[in-house]
């Protein structure tokens, strides 16, 4: 479970986050939706402990991300925006590297690698060097890497960026799978349909603030727009005004 209260963050003269509060439950998918520059990546980076908030606090399974980042990271799998692989290592070696760093080894690591290979369908290409992978293959390996230490929480920053239709469908099915295993998933996107298709709850960000949040129905009701896309436009437009 992930909770954040009043997160704020400033880069120079830009107030990237201005009091963002949200929560995401285990066994559910929470979508962070918003136009570019709304603060989605900054929020996820604070949750992932690579950025420190100027104000507010965030907890992962009750562990504070600022006071105990290592313990928080142990409970987190992170797929940052544009996450890259090591091109000279094979897909499996890429995942194994992160597994070893997280403390796995020997037969246990190999078992976990096999599991992930089945779960994400890496079998076809995991023994090839990552240099020649397609975007879809890269994303799947990067996801396996984020999941290698069996985190209970998963942060995905624009995971669908650059994926074709089939790969996007595969990702959607996978997120459903992970959700069924009780994992708490937070994922960001600027594409409404993507979020609507998989998310249980949606948090719409605009200009560093939470414009509106809730289930799709709740958002429709709150904005008075029967169409979710209109609701998104109204919500973010209201934030801009």
Rule CB under 8 A: which residues touch another protein? 11, 45, 48-52, 70-71, 73-74, 76, 78-80, 82-89, 93, 97-98, 100-103, 105, 129, 142, 145-146, 149
- For another protein, the closer of residues 64 and 225 by Cβ is 64
Cβ proximity to another protein, 14 vs 238, nearer residue: 14
CB atoms within 10 A of CB 164: 11
Cross-strand pairs, 18: 8
**Which C-beta is closer to another protein: that of 12 or that of 224?**
12
The residue behind tokens 């099915």 is 173
Q: Are the CB atoms for 56 and 7 separated by under 8 Å?
A: yes
Secondary structure letter of residue 68 according to DSSP:
-
**Residue 200 has what DSSP assignment?**
S
Strand intervals (E) in 42-170? 55-60, 63-64, 76-79, 153-157
Could you tell me the smallest distance in angstroms from the CB atom of residue 26 to another protein? 19
- We find the least distance from the C-beta atom of residue 219 to another protein, in angstroms, to be 30
Considering the complex, state which of residue 23 and residue 98 has its C-beta at the smaller distance from another protein: 98
Q: How far is the CB of 89 from another protein (least distance, A)?
A: 6
Our CB check for another protein shows the closer of 49 and 168 to be 49
CA distance linking residue 208 with residue 160, whole number of Å: 22
Q: Tell the smallest beta-carbon distance from residue 69 to another protein (Å).
A: 9
Q: What is the largest CA-CA distance in the chain?
A: 57
Residue 159, CB-side half-sphere exposure with 13 Å CA sphere: 31
Taking the complex as a whole, how short is the minimal distance between the CB of residue 57 and another protein, in angstroms?
Answer: 17
CB of 209 within 8 A of CB of 20? yes
């Amino acid at each position: 479970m992930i909770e954040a209260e009043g997160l704020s963050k400033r880069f120079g003269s830009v107030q990237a986050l201005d009091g963002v509060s949200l929560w995401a439950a285990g066994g559910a998918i929470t979508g962070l939706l918003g136009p570019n520059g709304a603060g989605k990546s900054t929020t996820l980076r604070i949750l992932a402990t690579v950025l420190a908030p100027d104000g507010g606090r965030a907890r992962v399974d009750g562990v504070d991300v600022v006071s105990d980042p290592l313990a928080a990271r142990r409970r987190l799998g992170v797929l940052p925006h544009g996450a890259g692989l090591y091109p000279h290592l094979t897909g499996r070696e890429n995942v194994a590297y992160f597994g070893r760093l997280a403390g796995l080894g020997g037969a246990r690591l190999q078992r976990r690698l096999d599991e992930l290979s089945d779960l994400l369908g890496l079998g076809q290409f995991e023994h090839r060097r990552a240099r020649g992978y397609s975007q879809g293959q890269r994303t799947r390996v990067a996801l396996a890497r984020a999941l290698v230490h069996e985190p209970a929480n998963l942060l995905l920053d624009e995971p669908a960026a650059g994926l074709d239709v089939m790969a996007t469908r595969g990702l959607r099915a996978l997120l459903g799978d992970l959700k069924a295993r009780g994992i708490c998933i937070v994922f960001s996107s600027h594409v409404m349909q993507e979020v609507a298709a998989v998310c249980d709850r949606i948090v719409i960000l605009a200009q560093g603030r939470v414009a509106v949040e809730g289930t799709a129905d709740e958002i429709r009701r709150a904005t008075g727009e029967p169409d979710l896309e209109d609701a998104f436009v109204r919500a973010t437009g209201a934030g801009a005004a």
